[in-house]
Amino acid sequence: MKKIVLLLLPLGYFIPAGAQNLENIGKQKPFAFHGSLGASSGFYSSNEPIATRPPFAWSIYGNFTPSVYNVSLPFSFVVTQYSKSYTDPFAQFGISPTYKWIKVHLGYRNIAFSPMTFDGQSFFGAGLELNPKGFRFAAFYGRLNRKVNEDTTSGRFAQPQYSRIGYGVKIGVGNAANYFDLMYFHARDDSNSATVINKRYLRPQENTVLGSSFKLTILKRMTWTTDIALSGLTQDISLGSASTDSVHTGLNKFMGKLVRSNSSTVANYAGQTSLSLILRGYNTTLGYRRVEPDFKSLGTPYMLNDIELISWLNNFNLLAGKLNINTSMSNQHNDLERKLPSRMNTFVSTAGLNALFSPHFILNFNYSGYILRQKDGTSTLKDSTRLSQDIHQFTLTPVYTISKNSLMHSISASGNYMMLQDHNPATSPYTSSNNTSLSLNYTLGFTRAALNLTLSGIHNLYKQDTNSYSSNGVNLGVSKQLLKEQKLSLQGTVGYLFNKSSYGNARDNLTFSGNVSYRLKNHSLNGYANYIYTPYNPIVTIINKQTPSAVATKNFAGGISYNYSF
């Protein structure tokens, strides 16, 4: 058996519901302890030439949450046999005690400044928020990233990174409805903190960001919000020469006074604004966002740059809530500084309708469309290499339900149509396609007997050029609850698909699955099994000439699990 893996995993932050309010500490329990403990095992059997899962697996796991005066300290563990021991366990803990308008953050915490400066990034350290009437203040100092050494001997790849220290201050006036804030954020990597073998692929960075945000509410109906930021980023602080070349020379000089500047320093700006109107039965929001190519904040790790986006969202709530309509449109493109060989423009539109015709009948409709256009940049593109595609998807789902005495009848259908149109004459024969999926479902429920029977019909048709592949079949399912208080649950399904391909005989599919569960107070026991037979598929052989034949696969899996909660 392989070495045991013991992982200490965070279960979110220290305070699940916000912060510990010290004003009510005398009314709270001094100590509490709850959690769960469980184990599971499973098996897998297949005739696949390359195994995708181990034939047998097991795990033991636990989640524990002790609390002192409603301050939670969650942690968990998982023990499995899957891989070699992982010798770098970690846990994240933090507290945010609050007294009136004072909040203190200690440990692993997060304070949102603005989407352009510091947001979505936790820190390990200390922070403070002060929100007396008409005043807004926040500050923090701590570690943003911990070091990760590069290891080429253990066989377990881990992306190396330097330890990063950051701090920030936000000061403003106003309240949740109307405010104006100014922000400062700074972060720097410690190039001596981690062992990195090839430093060309990991460069220590330093970043300073200045930001501002405001929100204005007009007559409780209209809201205007804006976020802007200036960023100076030194992409490699190990370099010594000063930066002399930049698109925004004046901005580089200004930000160079706030960050250690060299030849790798870039400076740029980003901003977004939105205007929302709320009326009776109608809401609308118009937004604009622009992020310059060199803009980057180490406090917003998931922000994309070099984009300009215009969006419009609408929501209609009509007929006393019985009809709801949602629409959205957005247009986005890159290459803001006209320096790339090509420019990508993306137009996205969506529409959704939910209609309640009666207590028994509901209709849902959704549409999504994507128009992708690649335009000339510094180079002139040929029609044979230019990306130009339209994608449209429609979904319609009616549901009819009626109950009479101890019987419940439910009839639902689902229709989905997706079309990809490729306007490139060279690639269109291989990419243009359409797919139709239809299903009709009927459920008969015996409420007194806790018994449900389900019958489904399925139709799928995929077309691409002169090729097609279709599947038609049925699924039958049954579920039953037994014993007092319905402690024992049984469920099973079986399905069969008749497949047809323009390439030849596609043969048929067979699937079945079963599940049994039993619960008694704080104990629960579950077992499952499923079988999937996927026959020989000639499409694989024809498309991939290097594959002599496609194997008809037979996959059988099952398992059991036990859980105790306290």
Taking only the tens place, the pLDDT of each residue in 116-142 is 999 989 999 999 999 999 999 999 999
Q: pLDDT, tens digit, for every residue of 455-477?
A: 999 999 999 988 898 999 999 99
- Measuring CA to CA, which residue among 234, 143, 119, 243 is closest to residue 194? 143
The yes-or-no verdict on residue 255 having pLDDT over 90 is no
The model's pLDDT over 419-436, given as tens digits with 9 standing for 90+, comes to 999 999 999 998 999 999
Among 14-28, 38-52, 225-239, 479-493, name the one with the lowest average pLDDT: 14-28
Of residues 158 and 178, the one with the higher pLDDT is 178
Average pLDDT over residues 365-390: 95
Q: What percent of the chain has pLDDT over 70?
A: 85
Q: Which two tokens stand for residue 206?
A: 């330093």
Mean pLDDT score, 249-257: 81
The better pLDDT of the pair 251, 334 is held by 334
pLDDT of 1 > 60? The answer is no
Tokens of 231: 């960023």
Topology (CATH) of 101-305:
Porin (2.40.160)
pLDDT tens per residue, range 72-123: 666 777 888 754 434 344 456 778 888 889 999 998 899 999 999 999 899 9
pLDDT tops 90 at residue 167:
yes
Of the chain, the end-to-end C-alpha distance in Å amounts to 31
Per-residue pLDDT, 513: 93
Share of the chain above pLDDT 90, in %: 60
CB atoms within 10 A of CB 340: 15
Is the CB of residue 235 less than 8 Å from the CB of residue 252? no
Mean pLDDT of 276-299: 96
φ/ψ of 80, rounded to 5, equals -135, 180
Q: pLDDT tens-digit profile of 495-538?
A: 999 988 887 767 788 899 999 999 988 999 999 999 988 776 55
pLDDT attached to residue 129 = 96
Report how far residue 82's alpha carbon sits from residue 514's, in angstroms, rounded to the nearest whole number: 26
Q: Which residue has the tokens 């004072």?
A: 102
What integer pLDDT is reported at residue 18 of this predicted model?
Answer: 43
**pLDDT per position as a tens digit, 477-503:** 999 999 888 899 999 999 999 988 887
Is 376's pLDDT higher than 90? yes
Residues 222-228 have a mean pLDDT of: 98
Q: What is the mean pLDDT of the chain?
A: 86
The amino acid at 520: L
| pLDDT score of 544 more than 70 | no
pLDDT reported for residue 54: 83
Give the closest residue to 206 by CA, choosing from 223, 225, 192, 187.
Answer: 187
What pLDDT does residue 155 have? 52
Least confident of 150-154, 176-180, 453-457: 150-154
- CA 215 to chain CA mean position, Å: 27
